[in-house]
Amino acid sequence: MNLRRTRAVAKKEFLHILRDPRSLTMALAVPLLMLLLFGYGLTLDVDRIPTLVYDSDKTPESRGLIARFQGSRFFQILDSVNEYRTIEKRIDQDQCLLAVVVRQGYARELLAGREPQVQLIFDGSDSNTASIAHGYADTLLQVYAMDVRTRALDRKGGAKLNPPVDGRLRVLYNSELKSRNFIVPGLIAVILAIITALITSLTIAREWETGTMEQLLSTPLRPAEIVLGKMLAFFTLGFLDMVLSIAVGVLVFQVPLRGNPLILVGATCLFLLGSLCWGIFISAAARTQVLAYQLGMLSSFLPAMLLSGFIYSIENMPAVIQAITYIVPARYFVTLLKGVFLKGVGIDILWGEIVFLFVFAALVFLAATRKLRQKVA
């Protein structure tokens, strides 16, 4: 391999990039825009659940229960209703997710030490949100019942009522339980996978369509030098996208960066190399930009979004899909980002992911070189 020829190819690609300011702006602005849109718009937090209240008991205890729901940040009381028909209508119109029905005799049963009847009616269209809302509401009901019974015993001079289990909660790595801290590192992986694969998937296909590839092949350039030279030019763009994404995540979204930044940069560079080489491989395999773009989107966006563990838990997927995720580079990169950002772990923990990204980059580079050599032949 001749470094002089490789530099010449890289310089040529740099000139192409600089002479197309719209593509350059898009390559730098789109990741930033996607990060801001997804970072602010995509959230897994479940709070301010739209709630209706149907109080049939109308006692101080039932009103106190409703006040607990009103004072919780997890619930937003929309209205008080007097019949089930109104509840069903509002749920059918997607105006509420939860209805709390306090049955008659609630206070009497509660003060007598028996289990009072409180009905929770959910809109189960979104099963995940409904399950989380059920957990919130059930916990609130149990805590309130315990408080009322304790106060009643205190007034009678009885013994203090203690809960059967004294649970102490300790949350590691994301103590405020903000979904943004979980989402933003994964977003960085998804955005880099999409941008790098797409911008390089068009490079060689464009050369074939414009007729300049034949001129390039008539030179003494070797396939490895063409691949490396083109990759170096786009690696600079990918590196700038990486710096912008990490800066926005830390400075704008306040995601904690607890680990070593050098490990983060090194792992990201490995991921960039693999994604760029994959884009060049697609571009060499497809001689048209339309086909290259479609293959690039299909092989980068969908696996990075769906099979990386970014949003959907891999452990809950079918066994066949779980097996497929082991060959998705974004899965390992997402694990790396979360480990460095939130947990602050180092190479002793993340060495497996780093090795996979290195092996993937090397294999895809060899595959792109081989594919280009076949095209030359």
Return the pLDDT at 213: 66
Return the pLDDT at 191: 84
Q: Does residue 130 sit in the same domain as residue 203?
A: no
Specify if 173 maps to a domain.
Answer: no
Q: Does residue 88 sit in the same domain as residue 234?
A: no
Specify if 162 maps to a domain.
Answer: no
What percent of the chain has pLDDT above 90? 10
Return the pLDDT at 375: 54
Mean of pLDDT values over 68-81 = 89
What pairs with residue 99 in β-bridges?
A: 52, 121
Q: Does residue 246 sit in the same domain as residue 145?
A: no
Mean of pLDDT values over 151-177 = 66
Specify if 170 maps to a domain.
Answer: no
Name the one residue in this structure whose structure tokens are 């315990």.
146
Specify if 98 maps to a domain.
Answer: yes
Q: Does residue 38 sit in the same domain as residue 68?
A: no
Q: Does residue 288 sit in the same domain as residue 231?
A: yes
Q: Does residue 223 sit in the same domain as residue 355?
A: yes
Confidence of residue 237 (pLDDT cuts 50, 70, 90): confident
| DSSP three-state, residue 244 | helix
Return the pLDDT at 277: 86
Structure tokens at 192: 């880099």
| DSSP three-state, residue 77 | strand
Return the pLDDT at 360: 93
Q: Which of 169, 120, 114, 129 is nearest to 49 (CA)?
A: 129
Structure tokens at 42: 């995509």
Return the pLDDT at 95: 86
Return the pLDDT at 374: 64
Mean per-residue pLDDT over the chain, rounded = 82
Mean of pLDDT values over 132-151 = 85
Q: Which residues contact 328 (CB under 8 A, 6 or more apart)?
A: 303, 304, 307, 308
Among the candidates 111, 126, 156, a domain finishes at 156
Among the candidates 122, 156, 190, a domain finishes at 156
Dist. CA 216–CA 219, nearest whole Å:
6
Specify if 134 maps to a domain.
Answer: yes
Mean of pLDDT values over 218-241 = 80
Q: Assess whether pLDDT exceeds 60 at residue 10.
A: yes
Rg for the chain (alpha carbons), in Å? 29
Q: Assess whether pLDDT exceeds 90 at residue 145.
A: no
CATH number of the domain within which 125 lies = 3.40.1710.10
Number of domains in the chain: 2
Q: Which residues contact 36 (CB under 8 A, 6 or more apart)?
A: 248, 252
DSSP 23-75: HHHHHHHHHHHHHHHHHHH------SEEEEEEESS-SHHHHHHHHHHHH-TTE
DSSP 189-238: HHHHHHHHHHHHHTHHHHHHHHTHHHHHHTSS--HHHHHHHHHHHHHHHH
Return the pLDDT at 225: 78
What percent of the chain has pLDDT above 70? 90
Q: Does residue 37 sit in the same domain as residue 54?
A: no
Return the pLDDT at 217: 64
Q: Does residue 215 sit in the same domain as residue 362?
A: yes
Q: Assess whether pLDDT exceeds 90 at residue 357.
A: yes
Dist. CA 338–CA 202, nearest whole Å:
31
Q: Does residue 11 sit in the same domain as residue 83?
A: no
Confidence of residue 354 (pLDDT cuts 50, 70, 90): very high
Specify if 79 maps to a domain.
Answer: yes
Confidence of residue 164 (pLDDT cuts 50, 70, 90): low
Name the one residue in this structure whose structure tokens are 């006692």.
59
Q: Does residue 252 sit in the same domain as residue 357?
A: yes
User: Which residues form the domain of 107?
Assistant: 49-156
Our separate counts of H helices and E strands in the chain read 15, 4
Q: Does residue 362 sit in the same domain as residue 273?
A: yes
Q: Assess whether pLDDT exceeds 90 at residue 355.
A: yes
Q: Assess whether pLDDT exceeds 70 at residue 162.
A: no
Q: Does residue 192 sit in the same domain as residue 333?
A: yes
Mean of pLDDT values over 293-313 = 82
Return the pLDDT at 356: 94
Predicted model pTM: 0.77
Return the pLDDT at 159: 55
Specify if 168 maps to a domain.
Answer: no
Specify if 163 maps to a domain.
Answer: no
Structure tokens at 85: 């028909």
- pLDDT per position as a tens digit, 251-281: 888 888 888 999 999 999 999 888 888 888 8
